[in-house]
Amino acid sequence: MHSARPIRNVVLYVALVAIAGMFALPLIWMVAVSLTPPTELATVTFLPQHPQFDAYGDVLHSESFDFLLYARNTLILVVLSLFGTLACSSIAAYGFSRISFPGRDLLFGVCLATMMIPFPVVMVPQYMLFKQIGWIGTTLPLWVPASFGHAFNIFLLRQFFMGIPRDLEESAMIDGCSRWACFVKIILPLATPALTVVALFHTLAIWNDLVAPLIYLVHKEQFTLSLGLQFLQSRSGNTPWNQMMAAATLIVLPVLVLFVIAQRAFIRGIATTGLKE
């Protein structure tokens, strides 16, 4: 794509700006409301007339939303489960894509099926299980199961691994390289974009997860960010919307930065991939 075609680029640019603007609307709205003074909330149409940052101060100092504590709790869950799930998912994905053994496709089907059963149905039996092993009241249900290989990640990595030509591994194996060494030295480096995607999605999933914290967390001291946000939304309709959106902005911001970093990793220059046919 040695594009010295200005007209084409202009067209692309116009399209990009229009599309990005549409998609950015919720984000803009969230930030706009967070800057809206309470007196304008009832009449505001889109952008506040007298923007102010008070809501951020209010929410950071409010008793009902301890941002730093919740952020730390959430971060701990991410850190505890991230490496586990990256390792487990990629190993299992390698098994499902490269190792040919009897019953593999059937087991892969079972693996996929775990995503297809609606969560409410297993929620209650799972709660009973965690009660039996004494995990209720702890944060263990939130990160231990998440540390194992998850079907979504396994499936995603399997698809990427299967796209990697076999010749590289086969010549390495002829040179006496073991399966494990092939996986670590050849496949994993080549799959960096896919691994980055998995890491990003896993972080997002834990960061935004509401269902599991809602069921398993009782103590405010253990709350995650998304659960804390839920509690800013009042049942009686007295929600301080500007504070709520300020909190939401604070929650979204680090993830957005993370995305910008991560996308550099999965949009590498083609030259550096080492993929030559």
Partner 1 sequence: MTRSTWFMLLLGAPAIALLLFGPRGAVHIPQGRVVVRYWEKWTGVEAEAMQRVVDEFNETIGHDEGIWIEYSSISDIDKRTMIAAAAGDPPDISGLDDRMVAQFADLDALLEIGDLVREFGIDGDKFKPTWWNIGEYKGGLYALPSTPFTIALYYNRAAYRAAGLDPDRPPRTTAELNDYAVKLTKKDERGRITQLGFTTSPLMLGWWHWAWPFFFDGQLWDGDRLRIDTPESRASFLWTQERRSRMGISAVESFESSSGAIEGAQNPFISGRLAMVFQGPWMSNWINHYNPDLDYAVAPFPSVTTERENVMASADVFVIPRAAPHPREAMRFLEFVMRQENLEEVCRAHCKVSPYRAPLERFEKDHPNPFIHVFDKMADSKYVFTCPRAPMFPEISQAMLVVLLDVLHADDPAKVDVAIEKGQRTIDLIVDAHQAKAARRAGR
Partner 2 sequence: MAVSRTSLGVGLLWIAPWWLGFMMFLAIPLGISFYISLSEYPLLQPPLFVGAANYSTLAVDPVFHKVLYNTLLFSAAFIPLSTAAAIALAILVNQRLPGQPFFRACIFAPTIVPLVATAVVWMRLFNPETGPINETMAAAGIDGPLWLASPRWAIPSLVFVSLWGVGSPMVIYLAGLQEIPETLYEAARLDGANSVGRFRHVTLPGLSPVILFNVVMAIINALQIFALPYILWDTDPGPERAGYFYTSYLFDNAFRFLKFGYASAMGWIQLLLILGLTAFVFAVSRRTVYYRGA
Site for partner 2 in 36-95 (CB under 8 A): 87-89, 91-92, 94-95
How far apart are the two ends of the chain, measured CA to CA in Å? 19
Inter-CA distances, 202 with 82, 101, 236, 240, Å:
7, 29, 34, 30
Q: What is the CA radius of gyration of the chain?
A: 23
176-235 residues near partner 1, rule: CB under 8 A: 214-215, 218-223, 227, 230-235
Taking CB under 8 A as the criterion, the residue among 155, 172, 177, 209 binding partner 2 is 155
Query: Which tokens hold the place of 267?
Result: 């949009």
- Please, how many CA atoms are within 13 Å of residue 224, restricted to the half-sphere of its CB? 25
Q: What angle do CA 94, 98, 104 make, to 5 degrees?
A: 90
Q: Rule CB under 8 A: say whether 100 interacts with partner 2.
A: yes
Residues in contact with partner 2, shown as a per-residue x/- string from 109 to 138 under the rule CB under 8 A: xxxxxxxxxx-xxx-xxx-xx---------
Q: Rule CB under 8 A: say whether 171 interacts with partner 2.
A: no
Q: Rule CB under 8 A: say whether 1 interacts with partner 2.
A: yes
Q: Rule CB under 8 A: say whether 71 interacts with partner 1.
A: yes
Residue 43 site contact among partner 2, partner 1, none (CB < 5 to 8 Å, cut-off depends on kind): partner 1
Q: Rule CB under 8 A: say whether 29 interacts with partner 1.
A: no
DSSP 149: P
Residue 104 site contact among partner 2, partner 1, none (CB < 5 to 8 Å, cut-off depends on kind): partner 2
Question: Would you say 105 or 221 has its CB closer to partner 2?
Answer: 105
- Please, how many CA atoms are within 13 Å of residue 80, restricted to the half-sphere of its CB? 16
Question: Secondary structure of 44-68 in the HEC alphabet?
Answer: CCCCCCCCCCHHHHHHHHCCCCCHH
Stretch that binds partner 2, among 52-60, 63-71, 72-80, 261-269 (CB under 8 A): 261-269
Q: Amino acid letter at 54?
A: D
Query: Which tokens hold the place of 182?
Result: 């092939």
Taking CB under 8 A as the criterion, the residue among 53, 83, 231, 259 binding partner 2 is 259
Per CB under 8 A, residues contacting partner 1 are 38, 41-43, 63-64, 66, 68-69, 71-73, 75-76, 79, 123-124, 127-128, 131, 136, 214-215, 218-223, 227, 230-241, 254, 257-258, 260-261, 264
